[in-house]
Amino acid sequence: MHPIQPKTPAAAALPPFDKYFYYAHSVQAPDENMEFLRDMYFEQRRPRHNLILREDFCGTFANSIAWVMLDPQHVAHGLDLDPEPIAYGRAQYLPHLPAEAAARLHISEGDVLTSPLVPCDIAAALNFSYCFFRDRKTLGHYFRRVFESVAADGLFVLDLLGGPFYNAPNEHELELEDPHPFSYFLEQHSYDPITADARYSIHFKRPGEAKRKHVFAYTFRLWTVPELRDLLLEVGFSKVVVYWEGTKRDGSGDGVWRPTAVGDPSDSWLTYIVALK
């Protein structure tokens, strides 16, 4: 078990509700995500161990922790504007981290638009966090700052969701069993086809309890792959590679992302966009 996973009592004795704990168990997969970033760097550049990751919009910095645990030479820098999730990560995750790994982890509070961006080999903006920037000028400013901060053989990694499913109000429920049965709900309240802005809420439901609504709420712009690719090239990146998830026979994703020039026009999809300097 990864050290960021705190021990939890059995379902019969549920602990006080912890929004970050349930978010981590329903939305994030830090170990798998960081292995993907490493393998993708090896594929696009060259295998090496002393890689520096900067996790922008790091929140509770679970990805940064997984990065330093992945290789004894990895270094991670996390940056986030909100002090609350940073404080949570320091209280809940750092005590489980070996001292030598903690020494390679550096977390700061700051704004990716104005604060110094630590030079790195891989910059990552995951969980669609950059979609908070809803106009091209602001997003371009952020992308330009990232380009200037990554090494000559560096990469910038974004994830993106899309498809017709997200072009109208909807709600998706995911029933989970770990660490005990609970449900995660992603509700899309609206979509504006003129601005591509969409409003979302995350709800949770634990056994024997009422549904906790609007635990997290967001307004995103649903950027498209061509928009992001064109802007990344415009600010100076030399190449943009799109990694698309494979599909099982039943139409569901297989959890493996491969570089491709042609995407699958399914109702909903998740992809990774990798910009090479």
Contacts of 199 (CB under 8 A, 6+ apart): 188, 189, 190, 217, 218, 219
The Cα 93–Cα 80 span in angstroms is 16
CA-to-CA separations, 80 to 84, 125, 142, 144, 146, in angstroms, rounded: 10, 11, 14, 18, 15
Residue 115's contacts (CB-CB under 8 Å, 6 or more residues apart) are 79, 108
Long-range contacts of the stretch 195-204 (C-beta < 8 A, 24+) = 195/134, 195/221, 196/221, 196/222, 196/223, 196/224, 197/134, 197/221, 197/222, 198/166, 198/222, 202/23, 202/27, 204/17, 204/19, 204/22, 204/26
Measured in Å, how far apart are the chain's first and last C-alpha atoms?
Answer: 35
- Nearest by Cα to 132 from 87, 88, 82, 77: 82
> Residue 275 has which token pair?
């910009």
pLDDT band (50, 70, 90) for residue 51: very high
Task: Report pLDDT digits (tens) over 224-276.
Answer: 999 999 999 999 999 999 998 877 666 666 777 888 888 888 888 899 999 99
The residues pairing with 245 across neighbouring beta strands, listed in sequence order, are: 257
User: What is the domain class of 16-161+224-276 according to CATH?
Assistant: alpha beta
Residue-wise pLDDT tens digits, 94-119:
999 999 999 999 999 999 999 999 99
Say what the pTM is: 0.91
pLDDT score at 251: 60
Each residue's pLDDT tens digit, 120-155: 999 999 999 999 999 999 999 999 999 999 999 999
User: To which residue do tokens 């940064």 refer?
Assistant: 64
For the chain, the average pLDDT equals 92
- Of 81, 87, 96, give the one whose Cα is nearest residue 30: 96
Distances (CA, A) of 16 to 8, 9, 13, 252, 259: 10, 11, 10, 34, 42
Confidence bin at 207 (pLDDT 50/70/90): very high
pLDDT band at 5 (very low <50, low <70, confident <90, very high): low
How would residue 1 be classed by pLDDT, with cut points 50, 70 and 90? Answer: very low
- Tens of pLDDT, residue by residue over 22-32, are 999 999 999 99
Q: Among the listed ranges 34-43, 79-88, 173-182, which one has the minimum average pLDDT value?
A: 173-182
